[in-house]
Structure 1
Amino acid sequence: MTQSPAAPLPPPKERRRLREAHALTQAQVASTVGVTRETVRAWEAGRTTPRGTKRAAYARLLASLEPEMTELQKVTQPQPRVSASLQADPPQQDPGTPDAPEQRAPLTPAQAFDALYAFCAPALVRQTYLLTGRRELARESVERAFQSAWQRWPEVATDRDPAGWVRATAYEYALSPWHRLRPRYRHPEAPPASAPDRALLDVLLRLPPSYRRTLVLYDGVGLDLPETAAETEASTPAAANRVLHAREALATRLPELADPATLHRRLAEVASAERLRAPRPRTVRLSGERRASFWTRAAIAFTVTIIGATALTLNTAPTHYEPPVPPGATVSGVPPRQAPGALSDAELALRAKLRKETSHGPERLVPDLR
């Protein structure tokens, strides 16, 4: 018996973009597909994936919205601002390569991963530094994001925006509040050497994490507003409000950054001033594989321990019910136990009589008839 292939679905942020472009709420989509609003929210965030008939219904709904969205994008397609430091590095072309396309062998998964890493990692480290203000945490966040991408490479490779997938994962790890509990991150790192860069980074780090992330994506990376809203898991109006409030906070402390173009240029300059180098892609792949192997072995060992403890409990547990010993009860009417005291007159007379009589011979066996 063969299983029918699953209906194709666009990436999570594209699902949200299609819904918001047609002014549909999550509740309306949930009612059409036959699920709850929380389920649709998880689908759009990428936390879960629809299956079975729900996946087919959801795919049909998105397919009906996509043609209209495509026509709309042909008319109004926003052009993102390009930055040499915060945008991904373009692939290098050999000067001797002819312009005509040539047939090439398909890339292996490792080669495709290395190409994505070389394309995104340098700029992504600089972006993450603007979010955290920590050089080591920025490198660690990017490394963990690409390790997660390598572990889920079939999903990432077929995604419409692999760079966005890795960027969202790196941002989530970098902004995790659990880092403040780590001893190595309890103390601040050395600030930038330039005074204007220190002032900008200080104001940027004073913003709430959600505002900081939205500002870096919109004014730093150069994404448009719907893409920024989809990546930050917020509505388009909420993302616009975050950008406005973040710009206002920056302009209050640094009036020269009130112009968005100037702010975009200064963010790129601050990120470019630091020497932030990402590790080699092969190192990231191997360390990710070792980490995954370690946790797999730990999970297997934990499972074996649980199974052994369960088996030991089953073998040593009693096979029948043994009622517990009832607690003691007080019995009334029993005279208290007395200690030996002085002999009475009758007891003294009996003792004297016994001492006078002979204590040996058969006379003791003859009854006295008197």
Structure 2
Amino acid sequence: MMQTPATPLPPPKERRRLREAASLTQAQLATRVGVSRETVRAWETGRTSPRGRKREAYAKLLNDLAEDTPAVEEAEVDTAEVEEAQPESPHADIVVVEIPVPHTDPAPAPLTPAQAFDALYAFCAPSLVRQTYLLTGRRELARESVERAFQTAWQRWPEVAVDRDPAGWVRSVAYEYALSPWHRFRPRYRHPEPPPPAPADRVLLTALLELPPSYRRTLLLYDGVGLGLAEMAAETEASTPAAANRLLHAREALAAQLPELSDPTELHRRLTELASTARLHAAKPPTVRFVGERRTQFWTRAAIAFTVAIAGATTLTLRSAPTHYEPPVPLGQRVEGVPARAVQGALSEEEIQLRDRLRNGMTVGPERLLPLSR
């Protein structure tokens, strides 16, 4: 895709400093630019960068804030966003938020692995369940996919804890599990679930589910979650041109059925509303950790039992197998000179006379015994 030279922007930390100096929250700045609060947060953390008209509007707003705000030296320790800790509204965005860690203590105590996992789950699981619902159209499968993803994350927590984007790590695993083709053979997923009550939501969800899985995932990551083109291509394990083509084809397919969704802003809003109407809830973090540990113990014990069975069968085979070579029994040798078997024919006169003499002779003499007839 050919792109025009991008409008220059200050570094992510400077963007945040300008907003805070103007006493603006992320939600207020998002309203001015015309994006979601989570998108502004991603811009300020450097996780994504604005594009097109949004980039120009964001750069102009930051320029105006820089002219009205005197330059001050940024503090060494970043403060947490208070508005991030507000309870989630029914119409919250579907993007995954990062974990805010307040720095009220100059030397905060480190979190235990369980506490860090619970914090990641509490902030990411609700929105990730809604995303997965848009990806599959099934509520139970969405919850199951997210729980399995977090159980896998807990099993590999040393790796996930140091990952650059733990939320993206879990999201990728959840999407892969949700889009697995083996779910169609499960009895509980053979029949479709009840559609959303609103007709507009039903039409949008049907149009989404008609897209190929790779197109659906690309559209959700770009227009729903708000990832950049390069990040989206990396998460879907595709090249940047391939990811861009999937996105264009997915937008064209949706616009063919719903022309009002040709605007990306309107598409993002409709995806957010559709995900929010599902009223999905995730399990508690301790429950997910407990079930994951029980499943790991079960498969570990099963693997040990299978290994023991293989070792026992091998030992039994070695004990019962012969210890020396026994040559096979040779085949019988053919005897020569044996006359061929002939078919019995009619008796000659001499043979008839001999037979009669034998019969008569056997009934004569004291040494012969005859059966008595009754």
Q: TM-score range by the shorter chain?
A: 0.5 to 0.7
Which runs of no fewer than 5 residues in structure 2 stay unpaired? 1-43, 55-83, 85-90, 368-374
Structure 2 SS opposite 1:105: coil
Contact 1:131 1:216 survives alignment (8 Å): yes
Q: Which residue of 2 is the match for residue 270 of structure 1?
A: 274
Give distance in 1, aligned partners of 2:105 and 2:190.
53
1:87 correspondence with 2:58: no
User: Larger relative contact order (C-alpha < 8 A, sep ≥ 6)?
Assistant: 1
1:264-299 C-alpha deviation (Å, 9 max, x unpaired) = 110011000111100000000000000000000000
Give distance in 1, aligned partners of 2:213 and 2:354.
102
What is the aligned length? Answer: 278
Q: Which residue of 1 is the match for residue 329 of structure 2?
A: 325
Query: Do the aligned partners of residues 296 and 89 (structure 1) sit closer, same or farther apart at CA in structure 2, a change above 3 Å counting?
Result: same
Q: Which residue of 2 is the match for residue 219 of structure 1?
A: 223
1:171 correspondence with 2:179: no
1:110-143 C-alpha deviation (Å, 9 max, x unpaired) = 0000011011100000000000000000000000
Query: Do the aligned partners of residues 292 and 346 (structure 1) sit closer, same or farther apart at CA in structure 2, a change above 3 Å counting?
Result: closer
1:235 correspondence with 2:239: yes
Contact 2:48 2:228 survives alignment (8 Å): no
What is the CA-CA distance between 1:74 and the residue it aligns to?
A: 12
What is the CA-CA distance between 1:223 and the residue it aligns to?
A: 0.4
Give distance in 2, aligned partners of 1:330 and 1:218.
85
Give distance in 1, aligned partners of 2:343 and 2:46.
111
From 233, 253, 260, give the equivalent of 2:257. 253
Runs of 4+ residues deviating >4 angstroms: 73-77, 80-83, 89-93, 326-330, 336-339, 341-349
Opposite residue 297 of structure 2, the aligned amino acid is S
What is the CA-CA distance between 1:107 and the residue it aligns to?
A: 0.3
Structure 1 SS opposite 2:323: coil
1:205-264 C-alpha deviation (Å, 9 max, x unpaired) = 000000000000000000010000000000111111111000000000110101011001
From 96, 116, 119, give the equivalent of 2:123. 119
Contact 2:99 2:120 survives alignment (8 Å): no
Give distance in 1, aligned partners of 2:256 and 2:202.
16
Contact 1:250 1:257 survives alignment (8 Å): yes
Give distance in 1, aligned partners of 2:355 and 2:266.
124
1:38-117 superposed matches below 5 A: 78-79=49-50, 84-89=92-97, 101-117=105-121
What is the CA-CA distance between 1:323 and the residue it aligns to?
A: 3.0
Give distance in 1, aligned partners of 2:220 and 2:263.
15
What is the CA-CA distance between 1:103 and the residue it aligns to?
A: 2.5
Q: Give the alignment's Cα RMSD to 1 decimal.
A: 3.3
Give distance in 2, aligned partners of 1:77 and 1:245.
23
Q: Which residue of 2 is the match for residue 283 of structure 1?
A: 287
Contact 2:136 2:179 survives alignment (8 Å): yes
Opposite residue 221 of structure 1, the aligned amino acid is V
Query: Do the aligned partners of residues 304 and 343 (structure 1) sit closer, same or farther apart at CA in structure 2, a change above 3 Å counting?
Result: farther
Contact 1:85 1:126 survives alignment (8 Å): no
Query: Do the aligned partners of residues 181 and 100 (structure 1) sit closer, same or farther apart at CA in structure 2, a change above 3 Å counting?
Result: closer
TM-score, length-scaled by structure 2: 0.67
Q: Which residue of 1 is the match for residue 26 of structure 2?
A: none
Opposite residue 269 of structure 2, the aligned amino acid is R
Structure 1 SS opposite 2:197: coil
Q: Which residue of 1 is the match for residue 151 of structure 2?
A: 147
Q: Which residue of 2 is the match for residue 158 of structure 1?
A: 162
Contact 2:96 2:127 survives alignment (8 Å): yes
What is the CA-CA distance between 1:87 and the residue it aligns to?
A: 1.7
1:307 correspondence with 2:308: no
1:131 correspondence with 2:135: yes
What is the CA-CA distance between 1:320 and the residue it aligns to?
A: 1.9
What is the CA-CA distance between 1:100 and the residue it aligns to?
A: 5.1
Structure 1 SS opposite 2:114: helix
Which runs of no fewer than 5 residues in structure 1 stay unpaired? 1-72, 360-370
Opposite residue 78 of structure 1, the aligned amino acid is S
Query: Do the aligned partners of residues 264 and 329 (structure 1) sit closer, same or farther apart at CA in structure 2, a change above 3 Å counting?
Result: farther
TM-score, length-scaled by structure 1: 0.68
Give distance in 2, aligned partners of 1:158 and 1:233.
21
1:128-186 C-alpha deviation (Å, 9 max, x unpaired) = 00000000000000000000000000000011111110000000000000000101000
Opposite residue 267 of structure 1, the aligned amino acid is L
Give distance in 2, aligned partners of 1:118 and 1:307.
44
Give distance in 1, aligned partners of 2:162 and 2:355.
113
Query: Do the aligned partners of residues 79 and 195 (structure 1) sit closer, same or farther apart at CA in structure 2, a change above 3 Å counting?
Result: same
